[in-house]
Structure 1
């Protein structure tokens, strides 16, 4: 009989716990600087553990940075449940962006509900409808937006900087924990008792929409469960193109 040996939340050692204290101070300063520089900074939270760390800092420091999330309509139950849990924990209201219903219906009628398995183009079109278009609406009027991306997450993010210019929206874009490791993130979660998605306890190190995400085996790349049927070089939804 074989058992699935899945990814597990990393064990944080004392050295990492100590190191994350200094990294937290840097992160706090980064977010404070962004809030001071920009009048309409907005944070796009996918509710991933990295985004929950940033949310915790924004809420703890009461920074004037609006937090929004994308309710794609295909999220896991566990992910959707984190929205009210986050609002209750921090006493804030997340701005929840949903796709245009007519666009979803047209896609499903023309191609099929799960047509994204058939080609990269159809998968990207689904992501465009459910994620990119709602995000575009969410940052109308913003002069900067923030993500929870990290360099360590994938080959497509190895050169990720702290600050970029988003040419598509002609605004500043920030990746405030770009230089954090996976251990750093989980050390912060432990230190501040940050609420996280229950799927992390079910071998999901990276979480997207339910049909496009699966558990990852122990030792596999942490994004191996995202769009697992595609080449690793195409594994982006287009939000950060």
Structure 2
């Protein structure tokens, strides 16, 4: 247990900064914390947060799984060029990935939940742990609308698994509010959103959703809905 950081998290709760504006929250954390990172997957939410943080001295990073959509790479490139920022990139360990593919094949994640979770671990979870190692605050684009598993989340929370403070500034935003800000500020966004893709991950594991389907229906659509998490965000 990182007791020092946990105590600092308790101070955040005591100071009740969840009710402050995003700008005030960022001012608070940059004043009281040094090692702050923001993870982006170039979703609507992450693009809005990137826009809001573009002038802050906060590291932005992404996980390149090697199987992202071409539209995701295009959004990534456009974002870097428009805002003149650097986005640090973390990739899977080559030996782990090559061993997995050699032993089980390139698309074995369709065959079992165990295989799919192993693929997610190698391509996302392990690189994430490297990215947030020794960091104090991890800013995310999570929203409560994303998944039933996230309805009990708070804007600031203690991530026991990763021993880090998570800051979810858009947690209570509606999709329409996020899109309005994207449009108003002419923020680059993934064009797959215009084709029915809502939650966008790796290309083989993501499809457009149909009218009336759940937000997460397009992710790992061949699995039971209750299993649809990749392990990056674990809530107990």
For Structure 1 versus Structure 2, the TM-score category normalised by the shorter chain is 0.7 to 0.9
Q: How does 1:187-202 map to 2 (within 5 A)?
A: 187-202=180-195
Aligned to 1:48: 43
**Is the contact made by 1:32 and 1:63 (CA closer than 8 Å) also made in structure 2?**
no
Q: In structure 2, what is the Cα distance between the partners aligned to 1:169 and 1:220?
A: 32
CA offset at residue 76 of structure 1?
0.5
Question: Is residue 67 of structure 2 the alignment partner of residue 68 of structure 1?
Answer: no
Per-residue CA deviation, residues 165-215 of structure 1 (Å, 9 max, x unaligned), is 122222211111111011111011011111000111111011000000001
CA offset at residue 222 of structure 1?
1.8
Aligned to 1:36: 31
CA offset at residue 85 of structure 1?
1.0
Per-residue CA deviation, residues 70-95 of structure 1 (Å, 9 max, x unaligned), is 10001001111222211111110100
Q: Which runs of 5+ in 1 are unaligned?
A: 1-24
Question: Is residue 52 of structure 2 the alignment partner of residue 57 of structure 1?
Answer: yes
Q: How does 1:104-143 map to 2 (within 5 A)?
A: 104-143=97-136
Q: Which runs of 5+ in 2 are unaligned?
A: 1-19
Match of residue 169, structure 1, among 150, 162, 172? 162
Aligned to 2:174: 181
Q: Report the 3-state secondary structure (helix = DSSP H, G, I; strand = E; otherwise coil) of the residue aligned with 1:46.
A: coil
Q: In structure 2, what is the Cα distance between the partners aligned to 1:209 and 1:177?
A: 23
The count of corresponding residues between Structure 1 and Structure 2 is 215
CA offset at residue 135 of structure 1?
0.8
Q: Report the 3-state secondary structure (helix = DSSP H, G, I; strand = E; otherwise coil) of the residue aligned with 1:141.
A: coil
Q: TM-score, normalised by structure 2?
A: 0.88
CA offset at residue 152 of structure 1?
1.0
Match of residue 150, structure 2, among 120, 132, 157? 157
Q: TM-score, normalised by structure 1?
A: 0.86
